[in-house]
Amino acid sequence: MTEKTTCKDQGAASKHSETGFVLVATLVAIAIITLGAAYFAAQVDTLRNSALYMQRWAETEREAFVIRESLQFAAATGVRDEGGLTFGKETLATDGRRYKLTDTLSITVQDERGLLAINTLDEKTLLRLLDSFGIPVENQPRLIDSLLDYIDADDLKRLNGAEKAEYARMNKLPPTNDFLRTRQQLQEVASWDDLFNRLRSVGQTNNPGVESRFIDLFSTSRHSGLNLNSAPAAVLYVVPGLDRTKISALIDQRRARAFTSIAQLAPFTTGPIDSDYLSLFGANDLRVVLYKAELPFLLECQLSITPGDTDRPTRLKMCVRRPINAGAGGGSDEFQRALLQDTQKPDVRQQSGSRPLATTSPSIRNDLRDAPQNVDAKTPQWLAEVLNPDKSPR
């Protein structure tokens, strides 16, 4: 009897054990299925977000193509005057101001004659440029000669320049001995790379985007002269004869009405200006930048007007994606202040005996009101109708 009871107890215990094992296995299986479902749900969400992102980019590309073609048509059939590009009865300013086309899309159009034509700048203009950035006089010949050596057609080294042998010692690609094709190439020029490194260092700390804003001052178009109606504040700051304390007022004036005569600049000067170098009319090259709110980059296109070509009155040189400049510009002396700030920080390069690139005195800085920042301007009706045909007047 006792043996039967013991066997019964052992059987019951075994049954309970098996039941417990099945329960645990079931719970584990449910947990695995739940985790798997969550993983696949996350993957589906990722794919869905990627699809939405690609859809937004496709829509942006479509809008960009429409705007681009419209600007090409306007440039080919419209009129270029001191104010910019006139088509119909309205003018699209080419001084880099921002136009809001939709709630999420805006553009800027910059006449490249308002920028520093790095391929055609003479030594005198380069000296003024470097001086305005606070580059010490003893360092200026090194930057100028290195740039000229990089773009000239020969392998002869200038006194303070650099050619193939010097680049080899620095483990850098040799100079192209040709005009710069993109303004980003300026960062590859000996000595200039150090200047960009300093701006990059400042941009990573407390002045985001300063490096990109600096390089945007330059153009690789081979035009001559400088258009005062489209030049940004930092470029006007370089022009000899202009009163640096009145740059903001000059920009306010031209935004209200473009200058049509050099004589109209008299209230903004401190002396004679070079009327042979300065002009009030744009070049054949335009830099068009499209900004889309949902995208972490912008689209930049180079548009060239070719009036001598009857079959192609306008031409697109290139369209590229570019990172968005974080932060707002700090005024006409932003780069001078950035370089000065960098030299005031402890730097391993300075401790090793290298000379700082920028050690300017605050006495030559423009400490007055900064130039006004880009704001959304009223879009010409002919361009607004391109993206909003249903709102066009009947």
Q: What is the pTM of this model?
A: 0.76
What's the pLDDT at 202?
A: 82
pLDDT range class, residue 351, cuts 50, 70, 90:
very low
Alpha carbons 249 and 236: distance in angstroms, whole number: 12
Helix (H) or strand (E) holding 140: helix 140-151
Token digits of residue 319: 């369209």
Q: Dig out the tokens for 388 from the structure.
A: 């909003």
Beta strands in the chain (DSSP E): 79-81, 84-87, 90-93, 95-100, 105-111, 116-117, 218-219, 226-227, 278-279, 285-292, 297-305, 314-323, 376-377
Fill in the DSSP letter of residue 269. Answer: B
Q: How far apart are CA 244 and CA 128, in angstroms?
A: 13
Average pLDDT of the residues of the chain: 78
Q: Which residues contact 394 (CB under 8 A, 6 or more apart)?
A: none
**pLDDT for the residue numbered 37:** 77
pLDDT for 139-197, tens place per residue?
A: 899 999 999 999 999 999 999 999 999 999 999 999 999 999 999 999 999 999 988 98
Average pLDDT of the segment spanning 339-350: 53
Domain ranges, ordered by start, for the chain: 58-391
What does the DSSP 8-state code read for residue 84?
A: E
* CA–CA–CA angle 333, 122, 138 (5° rounding): 60
Going by pLDDT thresholds of 50, 70 and 90, the confidence category of residue 310 is: low
- Residue 252: C-alpha distances to residues 4, 9, 208, 364 (Å): 107, 99, 26, 23
